[in-house]
Structure 1
Amino acid sequence: MRIKILLADDNAFIREGMKIILTTYDEFDILGMVKDGQEAFEYCKNHDVDIALLDVRMPNMNGVEATKLIAAHTTTKPLILTTFDDDEYILEAIKNGAKGYLLKNTDPEHIRDAIRSVYNGHSIIQDVILEKIKSNLTVTNEEVTKIDTSSFTQRELSILALISKGYSNKEISKQIFISEGTIANNVSSILGKTGLEHRTQLAIYYLTGKVSK
């Protein structure tokens, strides 16, 4: 089964370059390329797209707005392609249903792994993006809502802390010496208690005390 991908970027050089990179992998099928968020949404409505790889800054409709529409009205999973200059959009895109973030200078192997991961139902966020989120949390102490720890076990709190650092289940397993299966069960429990959908939201919740759905 090949993963069907739409590329959305207003820069033709970026679109063509990403197409060249992704077509080197037999598992990917580039269905189309568009230049703005409106075109991306329309394409996903009318085609069977698995992953929409979306730039943030595009004319007519940006990637954050397109993410919201694509997540709400199609089965396509939005994956943001961003630059450091776009970090102000990150939290909003998470709320709108983005399944992850990739920097435009990401190594091709990491791009492939990220697309695979999102396709298989996971959410991804690179450590460098997570650090940008941390560094740009400018709320005052009065504005921060501390997470309610009473509903979590000590193990769940430990896992939450490691998720907030961008650790995968495999990496967490090595850190606290329990199986990946047990980690996955605990992550499911944490998601259930918070009402969140994926680990990117959990990271934001742990760092800010706020639930961003």
Structure 2
Amino acid sequence: MKIKVMIADDNSFIREGMKIILTSFNEFDVVATVENGHEAVQYCERHEVDVALLDIRMPEMNGVEATRLLTERTATKPLILTTFDDDEYIHDAIKFGAKGYLLKNNDPERIRDAIRTVHNGHHVLQDVVLDKLKSGLIAADKDKVSDKGDKIDRTPFTERELDIMALIAKGLANKEISKKLFISDGTVANHITSILSKTGLEHRTQIAIYYLTGERN
């Protein structure tokens, strides 16, 4: 069965171009293209949509607010497509339930893989976007935010868990973490499961944000 995708972007060139690209892959069914977040939410409330590709800056309702409403009201998984000019929205989009955050200048195959990943229940956050998030947070409040987890309550965590949280915040994958800490991939995964359990978080992107900001939302 094909993955049902909706595209929301106020730029008709990008919107229609993305539709052509996705249609070229047999696994996708582009069920709708809309111009703003309000139309995106309305459509997904009335129709079955697996993944919604959302631009950030749109009239009437932006992609962040649309993400929040889609997460609250529908089973549609929001995937943000953005530019570097939208840095300030990264944190809110993830907080409100975005399952992925991807740059528009990616190759079609990268976007295809991201849609697959999100549809399968996983999260996608480009390393370059995570780096921008981290840099932006540190620049915004150097006294309160550090890359050493100074804002979090360290009490519930073991030193190994804190090490892993720090490396996740730097954008390292499990395999990279295992090599750096000289432990197995399985041990890394077990520690991450423990961290998620202790924090009530759902995925590694939220772990990174929590480590950098102390916020669990």
Deviations 1:36-85 (A, max 9, x none): 00000011111111111100001111100100000000001111111111
User: Structure 1 residues 1-10 or 56-65, which shifts more?
Assistant: 1-10
Match of 2:141 in 1: 139
8 Å CA contact retained: 2:56, 2:82: yes
8 Å CA contact retained: 1:191, 1:198: yes
User: Structure 1 residues 150-159 or 110-119, which shifts more?
Assistant: 150-159
Match of 2:97 in 1: 97
Figure out how many residues of one structure are paired with residues of the other and give that number. 212
Give the gaps of 5 or more residues in structure 2.
Answer: none
Deviations 1:94-145 (A, max 9, x none): 1111111011101222212211211121112111111211221112425776
Q: In structure 2, give the amino acid aligned to 1:42.
A: Q
Percent of aligned pairs with the same amino acid: 66
8 Å CA contact retained: 1:5, 1:29: yes
Match of 1:204 in 2: 209
8 Å CA contact retained: 1:51, 1:77: yes
Q: In structure 2, give the amino acid aligned to 1:195.
A: G
Residue 193 of structure 2 corresponds to residue 188 of structure 1: yes
8 Å CA contact retained: 1:100, 1:200: no
Shift of 1:210: 2.5
Match of 1:169 in 2: 174
Q: In structure 1, give the amino acid aligned to 2:154.
A: T
CA root-mean-square deviation:
1.9
What are the equivalent positions in structure 2 for 1:33-48 lying under 5 Å apart? Answer: 33-48=33-48
Match of 2:16 in 1: 16
Change (3 A) 1:44 1:110: same
What are the equivalent positions in structure 2 for 1:102-117 lying under 5 Å apart? Answer: 102-117=102-117
SS at match of 1:5: strand
Change (3 A) 1:136 1:105: same
Shift of 1:208: 2.0
Distance 2:179 2:27 in 1: 30
Change (3 A) 1:37 1:46: same
8 Å CA contact retained: 1:125, 1:166: no
Q: In structure 1, give the amino acid aligned to 2:166.
A: A
Give the gaps of 5 or more residues in structure 1.
Answer: none
